[in-house]
Amino acid sequence: MDHSEAVQQMAAERYLLDELTPDAREAFEEHFFDCRECALDLRTGAAFVEEAKAQLPGLAGARPAPVPSRSLKIKREWWLSWLQPAFAAPAFAMLLLVVGYQNMITLPALRDSANQPRLLPWAPLHGATRGAPLAIAADRRHGVALPVDLPPQPSTGTYASYSFDLYDPQGKLAWTGAAAAAADDAGDAQRLSLVIPGAMLRNGAYTVAVTGIAAHGERTGIDRYVFNLHLTD
């Protein structure tokens, strides 16, 4: 064994830990008797081990308790406080309630509304010019269905599509939609149904503005419908 092998193999540590095979031990002994560096290395390790053996038994009582830094302590406390039973138990109970409500009430209702036929209050709209705003009663559970009668086109193909703008009681644009113009001959009125879900409904005056859009993009106001919504729930 030469010096580089002894260093690479951590021969001194292996020797002190009694890990060397008999041949390796003899080879290392032959080396360190001749190598001042390895001899010092081994003697250092042996001296450390001997002294450590004397001191280790009495060390447990002398070891100072680790004191975390203040910021770390505060950070640990902040984290830990949320995991204490006093906080964790009510938090988990609340979480369970929310999850349960969503799974038992909210999601089934949403599935039903998407997959099942519904009966909705129906209130035909009149144009604003035809008289006082229409009073409509509705509830948040069902929403409201508003049939819109589009007047016949002046001539076939005047409008390629229609734009519908819904303004809420604050006058803000709450929704905008479009529908293609019927391909029928002019002279026939087109009827559509505007369904407003209950979640959108507020008490007050709503306006539906209908705009005809020509094929080349020109927009022409057709009608405005105003209705006073009264929520029953």
Partner 1 sequence: MQFSSFDADYVRNLCAGDRRTQEHFVGYFTELLQLKLRSRLQSPHAIEDVRQETFARVLSVLRKDGGLRQPERLGAFVNTVCTHVLFEHYRSKTGGESLDVEGRPELPDKSASALDIVAARQIKDKVREILLGLAPRDSSLLKAVFLDERDRDEVCREFGVDRDYLRVLLHRAKQEFKTEYEKRVGNQMAMGANA
The residue range among 16-24, 71-79, 147-155, 218-226 that interacts with partner 1, by the rule CB under 8 A, is 16-24
The DSSP bridge partners found for residue 166 are 175, 208
Helix, strand, or coil here: 172? Answer: coil
Nearer to partner 1 by Cβ, of 14 and 126: the residue is 14
Cβ 52 to partner 1 shortest distance, Å: 6
Distance in angstroms (rounded) separating the CA atoms of residues 142 and 113: 9
Q: What count of other Cβ atoms lies within 10 Å of the Cβ of residue 84? A: 9
The residue range among 44-52, 88-96, 153-161, 166-174 that interacts with partner 1, by the rule CB under 8 A, is 44-52
Q: What is the DSSP letter of 66?
A: P
H-state helical runs in 85-210: 85-101, 107-115
Q: Of 3, 16, 123, 182, which one interacts with partner 1 (CB under 8 A)?
A: 16
| Number of helices followed by number of strands (H, E) in the chain | 8, 7
Q: Is residue 23 near partner 1 by the rule CB under 8 A?
A: no
Nearer to partner 1 by Cβ, of 42 and 196: the residue is 42
Distance in angstroms (rounded) separating the CA atoms of residues 80 and 72: 12
Q: Of 4, 21, 23, 33, which one interacts with partner 1 (CB under 8 A)?
A: 33
Cβ 80 to partner 1 shortest distance, Å: 21
Cα R_g (the chain), whole angstroms: 43
Helix, strand, or coil here: 73? Answer: helix
Cβ 100 to partner 1 shortest distance, Å: 42
Q: Is residue 6 near partner 1 by the rule CB under 8 A?
A: no
Q: What count of other Cβ atoms lies within 10 Å of the Cβ of residue 223? A: 19
Chain centre distance of CA 64:
46
Q: Of 1, 32, 125, 146, which one interacts with partner 1 (CB under 8 A)?
A: 32
Cβ 51 to partner 1 shortest distance, Å: 4
Nearer to partner 1 by Cβ, of 66 and 217: the residue is 66
Contact positions vs partner 1 (CB under 8 A): 10, 12-19, 25-26, 29-30, 32-36, 39-49, 51-53, 55-57, 59, 62-64
